[in-house]
């Protein structure tokens, strides 16, 4: 069996491997009676003892938005829509930060170039107060130039700031078989960029689960449903201070 990047790095370095990253409806109101025919309802249409049914409560409209732009790790690849860490985060945010909501604009297989190309539209559409960027993994796995990844992330941060949104940058790591120079440079660029741009930073999304094979789906690439609460709880301390 071919080992996944996760197993290689977990065995080789005891660290974490990287993944890639490759609607209450209401019954319609009855039509109004024709003019001149209005009359009190009859027992045949409204039973005299029928209990009234309260209208469903309206879903509160979020006044503030967290926009998540990521790859398959954030898109919830292989999971039910409600199971991914971003969906779990949205529930936590709604419970603990009334008035806030989460929009997941993650796309499986996304690169930083794709994120940089999409962010203006997502900002205009969602008008977020906070943007969480979880991208770069696919760049690294494809061996794209680090300068290109850095430039794309810089562009996303600048766009978010231009829309007056705070930024949380979520870093990634690569397995050691990409070589020490590229692997080290890839990991460092997230920390360096966060420091230089003075944005909130989470070094590695998968840190709580990367070394645990049982936390992954059969493809050994994507965290399973049981691992998602750990990812949510890992992100929360970095995100929560921005929600004020």
Catalytic residue numbers?
A: 72, 219, 222
Let me know if 20 is exposed, middle or buried by CB neighbors in 10 A (0-12, 13-18, 19+): buried
Of 141, 155, 159, the closest CA to residue 71 belongs to 141
How far is it, in rounded angstroms, from Cα 145 to Cα 211? 27
The answer to whether 145 and 133 have CB atoms below 8 angstroms apart is no
How far is it, in rounded angstroms, from Cα 136 to Cα 163? 22
HEC secondary structure over 25-85: CCCCCCCCCCCCCCCCCCCCCCCCCCCCCCCCCCCCCCCEEEEEEECHHHHCCCCCCCCCH
Biggest CA pair distance of the chain = 85
Of 186, 81, 64, the closest CA to residue 126 belongs to 64
Angle between helices 85-96 and 228-239 (to 10 degrees): 50
How far is it, in rounded angstroms, from Cα 205 to Cα 175? 14
């Amino acid at each position: 069996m071919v080992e996944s990047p996760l197993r290689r790095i977990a065995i080789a370095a005891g660290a974490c491997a990287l993944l890639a990253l490759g609607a209450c409806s209401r019954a319609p109101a009855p039509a109004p009676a024709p003019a001149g025919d209005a009359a009190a309802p009859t027992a045949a249409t409204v039973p005299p003892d029928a209990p009234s049914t309260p209208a469903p409560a309206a879903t509160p409209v979020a006044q503030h938005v967290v926009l998540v732009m990521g790859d398959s790790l954030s898109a919830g690849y292989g999971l039910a829509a409600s199971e991914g860490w971003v969906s779990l985060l949205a529930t936590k945010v709604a419970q603990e930060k009334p008035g806030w909501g989460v929009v997941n604009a993650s796309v499986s297989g996304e690169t930083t170039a794709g994120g940089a190309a999409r962010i203006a539209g997502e900002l205009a559409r969602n008008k977020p107060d906070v943007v969480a960027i979880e991208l770069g993994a696919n760049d690294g796995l494809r061996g794209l130039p680090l300068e290109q990844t850095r430039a794309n992330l810089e562009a996303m941060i600048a766009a978010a700031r231009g829309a007056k949104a705070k930024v949380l940058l979520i870093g990634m790591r690569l397995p050691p078989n990409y070589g020490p120079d590229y692997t080290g440079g890839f990991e460092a660029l997230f920390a360096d960029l966060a420091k230089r741009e003075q944005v909130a930073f989470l070094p590695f999304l998968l840190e709580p689960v990367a070394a645990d094979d049982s936390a992954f789906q059969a493809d050994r690439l994507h965290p399973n449903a049981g691992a998602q609460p750990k990812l949510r709880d890992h992100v929360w301390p970095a995100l929560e201070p921005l929600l004020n």
